[in-house]
Chains A and B, each alone.
Chain A
Amino acid sequence: MKKVDLTTQLAGVKLKNPVITSSGTYGFGEEYTPFYDPALLGGITVKGITPLPRLGNPVPRIAETPSGMLNSVGLENPGLEEFLKTYLPRLERIGTAIIVNISGFSLDDYALMASSLPEHSCISALEVNISCPNIQHGGMAFGTDPRSAEEVIKVTRKHTRLPLIAKLSPNVTDIVEIAKAVARGGADIISLINTLLGMRIDLKTRKPVLANTMGGLSGPAVLPVAVRMVYQVYKAVDLPIIGMGGISTWQDAVEFMLAGASAVSIGTANFVNPLAPLEIINGLEEYCRREGYGSVQELVGLAHS
C-alpha cells in the first residue's frame, strides 16, 4: 500500500502532519501525556502568554451551550519570565513543533514578547493573538480594526525572525479585510477562527452564567462559521491558513482543508475526547489513501476549483 505523505509546510514551518492543538486547550503540553505521546502531533500551540503573570477572570469561567461551550478564562498565564524559565525547557523535550501564542495590551507588549522569545529553540512560530474576547483592553480590540491589526503584526514583525501567525477574530463584519491587513503587516500564516463572543443567562439567578458576563463560544456549534471564513480568506489572501473552530472528527478536518486550510487545529474537542487529535491524524491519512491522494496537501482548497 502506498504511504500517504502527511508532512505539511507552512511558510517555512515544517510539521510532521497537519494537526495542531489550539492555544488555551492544551496547557503547556503536559496535561494530555497520560493519554498519548504529544510528539505524535503536528504541533502544539501553548496557552497565551502575556508579559506579566495574570490570574485571569473569576469563576464561573465555563458555560455549556448547544453542541459547544463558552469560556472566559481571561488569559490566565504565568507570564513571560516564568514561561521562559519553567515551561520552555519542558516543551523543548516534547519533540514536535511548538507555537507560542502571545497576547498583549499595547504594541509595546507585543514587541517585548517577540524580542524575548528565542529564535533558536523548539519554538517554530509565534501566534499573535489579536482576537481574545475575554479581556478588557487589547486582545480582540486589536483584531477587529484592520489598521490596528496591521500595526500589531508590523510591530511584532520588527522584533523577531520567527514565522508569525496572525490569529483572527470572527467577531468582525468582514474577515477578508482583516486578513488582508495582517498580510500587509507581514504575517506569514493566518489562523482562524478564535471564539465567537456569546453569553448565557441562568434562569434561577436571572444573571449571566459567566462571572465575566460574556465569553467565547467554541465547539462543533461554530464549525460552519469557521469553514466559511477559511473559505473566504483562502480566496482573498495568498498566505497559508491554519483552520480551526469546532473540529472534532477527521471529517471536519477534511472539510477545513477543502475550504483552504493547510493545517488544522484542534481545541475544544480535546476536552471531550482527549484522543481526538490522533483520531484526526489517522482519519486524514485513511481518507487520502482511500481517495487516492499521495499527499494530504493535495486536499487544500479543492472546494474552490
Chain B
Amino acid sequence: MINQEKVIENRALDPELGIYRLILRGQTAKTARPGQFVHLKVSSTLDPFLRRPISIAGINRQQGEITLFYRVVGRGTSELTRVKENQTLNLIGPLGNGFTVPHEGKLLLLAGGIGIFPLFSLIEALDTSKVKVKLLWGAENRQFLEAAGLKTLLEKNLDYEVSTLDGSIGHKGLITDLLEYYLQGFNNPSEKKSSILAWRAAACGPKAMLQAVTAICRREGIPIEVSLEERMACGVGACLGCVCTAREPSGTLVRKRVCKDGPVFDGGEVVWDEES
C-alpha cells in the first residue's frame, strides 16, 4: 500500500490559478476505484510534515497510471509543484471507499470548484451508453472552468451546465440555482416523478455546497453520495483527525472517519450543522 510511483507529468494547466495535473505510474492504478484518494509525501524532509490527500481523477489500468489534479493552496501543494518528471513520489493508496458506479439509470453529477476532480474518475468509469449523465458544475469564473477541464467535458460529449460567480460563462450564480432550474424543467408532475425516480446523484465540493445540494436532492427523493474533505493526518483511520458526524438509522449520532469510512458518504446520513 506504500508505493513509489514514477512522475510521468507534473504540469501547470493554469499557472496563474495554480492548477496542476500530476500523472503517476505505479501500483495504485491496478486497484484504484473512482472517488478514492492517495496520500502523498510531498517533501523528503520533515517540513512540511504531513502527507497530502489528493483525490484520484483518472485511472488508466493498461498504462498503470493515475491522474491527479491539484490547486496550489498552501505549503504542501507548493512543494508538490517542484516535483519533476521521472522523479519518484512516495504515496499511500488507493485509500477510502469511493463512489458507487451505476451500470444503468441516470446519474446527476454535482461539482463545486475543484470538486470536479474526483468526479472525472467517476465519469470515466461510466458506460454512457447505459447510464444517462447530467453534470452541473459551479465555479468562480470561466478561467477556472477552462483550466480545470471544461474542454475535456466538451470532448466527451457530456451533457453539462455550468454556473460562475461572476457570470463569465454559464449561469451567473450558484450551482444550487442550476440544480433547482434543472429540477423545475420537469413540468408535468407525473413525468417529473417517474423521471426523477430514476436519478441518483454524486457530489463533491465545499461543505456548504454539499449541504445545500443534499437538502435539494433529499427533498426530491434523489439518493445522493457526497465526497467530503477534511484536514487529515494518517489517512488510514488511526488518528481520528478527519471525522464527520453521521446519524445512524436509530437516530444516534456517531463519528465517521472521512479517510477510512469515506470520503464518500450517503448525503442523507451526514449531520452538517453538528456543533458539539
Contacts and interface: CB of A to CB of B under 8 A. Distances in A.
Nearest to B1: A34
Contacts of A86: none
A223 to B, nearest CB: 10
A69 B50 contact: yes
A27 B238 contact: yes
A68 interface: yes
Interface of B: 1-2, 41, 46-51, 75-76, 92, 230-245, 253-255, 260, 274-276
Interface in A31-45: 31-32, 34-35
A55 B253 contact: yes
A36 B159 CA distance: 46
Interface string A218-245: 0110000000000000000000000000
Interface stretch (A179-187, A255-263, A266-274): A266-274
A31 B237 contact: yes
A251 interface: no
**Closest 9 A-B residue pairs measured CB to CB?**
A62-B241, A31-B238, A271-B234, A67-B46, A62-B231, A27-B238, A271-B233, A31-B237, A67-B47
Contacts of B92: 274
Contacts of A26: 238
B241 A220 contact: no
Contacts of B47: 66-67
B179 to A, nearest CB: 26
A64 B2 contact: no
B238 A25 contact: yes
B231 A61 contact: yes
Contacts of B231: 59-63
Contacts of A34: 1, 236
A261 to B, nearest CB: 21
Contacts, number: 100
B239 A271 contact: yes
A12 interface: no
Contacts of A63: 231
30 contacts: A25-B234, A26-B238, A27-B238, A31-B236, A31-B237, A31-B238, A32-B238, A35-B1, A55-B245, A55-B276, A56-B240, A56-B243, A60-B230, A60-B231, A61-B240, A61-B243, A62-B242, A63-B231, A64-B49, A64-B50, A67-B47, A69-B49, A71-B239, A71-B241, A76-B255, A270-B234, A271-B235, A271-B239, A272-B41, A272-B49
Given A47-B240, A274-B1, 12 more contacts: A24-B240, A25-B238, A56-B240, A61-B240, A64-B48, A64-B76, A69-B50, A71-B233, A71-B241, A220-B49, A270-B234, A275-B2
A69 B75 CA distance: 14
A219 B232 CA distance: 15
Interface of A: 24-27, 31-32, 34-35, 47, 55-56, 58-69, 71, 73, 76, 219-220, 248, 268, 270-272, 274-275
Contacts of A272: 41, 49-51
A59 B228 CA distance: 13
A272 B76 CA distance: 13
B239 A25 contact: yes
Contact of A24 (B230, B239, B255): B239
Contacts of A32: 236, 238
Residue from B232, B235, B240, B274 with most neighbouring chain A CB atoms (10 Å): B240
A31 B39 CA distance: 15
B276 A62 contact: no
A219 B49 CA distance: 8
Contact of A73 (B232, B240, B254): B240
Contacts of A31: 234, 236-238, 260
B275 A58 contact: yes
A172 B258 CA distance: 35
A94 B258 CA distance: 26
Contacts of A60: 230-231
Contacts of B48: 64
Contacts of A56: 240, 243, 255
A18 B92 CA distance: 27
A271 B230 CA distance: 15
Contacts of A270: 234, 238
A275 B254 CA distance: 30
A68 B233 CA distance: 11
A58 B49 contact: no
Given A31-B237, A32-B238, A271 B275 contact: no
A58 B50 CA distance: 20
B104 to A, nearest CB: 33
A58 to B, nearest CB: 7
A225 B94 CA distance: 36
A27 B235 CA distance: 12
Contact of A59 (B51, B76, B238, B243): B243
A59 B239 contact: no
A56 B256 CA distance: 12
A58 B242 CA distance: 10
B2 A271 contact: no
Contacts of B240: 24, 47, 56, 61, 73, 76
